[in-house]
Amino acid sequence: MFDPASPFIGKADPLQPSQKTSFAEDRLKIAVQSCELAPGSISTEAQISDRFGLGRAAVRVALARLSALGLVHPIPRAGWKVLPVTGALIGDIISARRQVEPCLAQARPDSDAIARMDELAEMIDVLDGQGDPGALATRRTYERELLDTLADAMGNRLMAHFLSGLWDHSERILRFLETPTSQPFAAQQARALTRAAATGDSEQIVALRMSDIAAFQEYAVAGLMRDRTELGVSHDAATALNNNGQQRPDTGEPSGPTITEDPGTKSNKGVTS
């Protein structure tokens, strides 16, 4: 009789293919959002697989899913290109957020959600003003959880998913614009937002979100004007090797054994102050 506990049966892989793909997608999404994979950079599936210790098949599926989210797109015979951060992109994100975030006024969080928002707001206040990168990253995580909690309370999963994508893009833009010598983006008015949600003050919710978007726009404009280097292209773009001797279709430039980076200028097209 078959004994599934027999020591003679080989051990199954602890991660099934679907789990490997999910893990790869999560890891690469974090890499894109944190600018570990720099905006505008091009990498092959093999390079990404080696860099992050992921299987090629899982990387291929994960990149396809990230492409559906608009975070990367394939370049024929060259690899995958991370969505560049441009002034036009920032302008589009700001415009979309201004049109969509007023829907948060419909949110009616229950007592458990309000209690969690209170906890998050308290932790955000504690971390506000702390300059070390770890505190900033933790504060951003709490701020995002607070917004996600509010979005979930709308009862519209499709709209919450769309907002999540906009906030993902906004987070990546902030990571890109923040430098070791610049001031980090200011903390949300978490306490005020929590109070407004608890009391059902729709107008205050909208006012607070519009204020945060305006601050984001001001910070983005200042960041674009402060730095004139090429938009997020690092050594990742150069490591696309020689593209098998083919012309790179995204630039129109022939590639060779040595790839140099031509300094460019950040554009603030699409962002108005």
d(CA 27, CA 23): 6
Write down the residue that tokens 């407004």 correspond to. 196
d(CA 221, CA 229): 15
DSSP conformational letter for 105:
G
CB environment 38-56: b (16+ within 10 A), e (fewer): bbbbbbbbebbbeebebbe
What the block records as the tokens of 143 is: 């701020």
The whole-model pTM stands at 0.74
pLDDT beyond 60 at 260: no
Residues across the chain: 273
**Residue (of 101, 102, 71) closest to 85 by Cα position:** 71
d(CA 155, CA 10): 46
Bridge partners, 43 (sequence order): 80
**Residue (of 240, 235, 234) closest to 43 by Cα position:** 240
Helix spans in the chain (H): 17-33, 45-52, 56-68, 87-100, 111-127, 133-152, 157-177, 190-199, 202-226, 235-238
**Residue (of 66, 68, 20) closest to 43 by Cα position:** 66
pLDDT beyond 90 at 273: no
**pLDDT tens string 97-152:** 999 999 999 999 999 999 999 999 999 999 998 878 889 999 999 999 999 999 99
**Residue (of 144, 140, 139, 151) closest to 109 by Cα position:** 151
Amino acid occupying residue 87: G
pLDDT beyond 90 at 264: no
Which residues are CB-neighbours of 207 under 8 A, at least 6 positions away? none
Cβ proximity of 219 and 185 under 8 Å:
yes
255-263 average pLDDT score:
37
Round the average pLDDT of the chain to a whole number and report it.
82
Write down the residue that tokens 């903390």 correspond to. 187
pLDDT beyond 90 at 19: no
pLDDT value for 180 = 79
Confidence class for position 57, pLDDT limits 50, 70, 90: very high
pLDDT value for 228 = 58
**pLDDT tens string 144-203:** 999 999 999 999 999 999 999 999 999 999 999 988 788 899 999 999 999 999 999 999
Confidence class for position 22, pLDDT limits 50, 70, 90: confident
Amino acid occupying residue 89: L
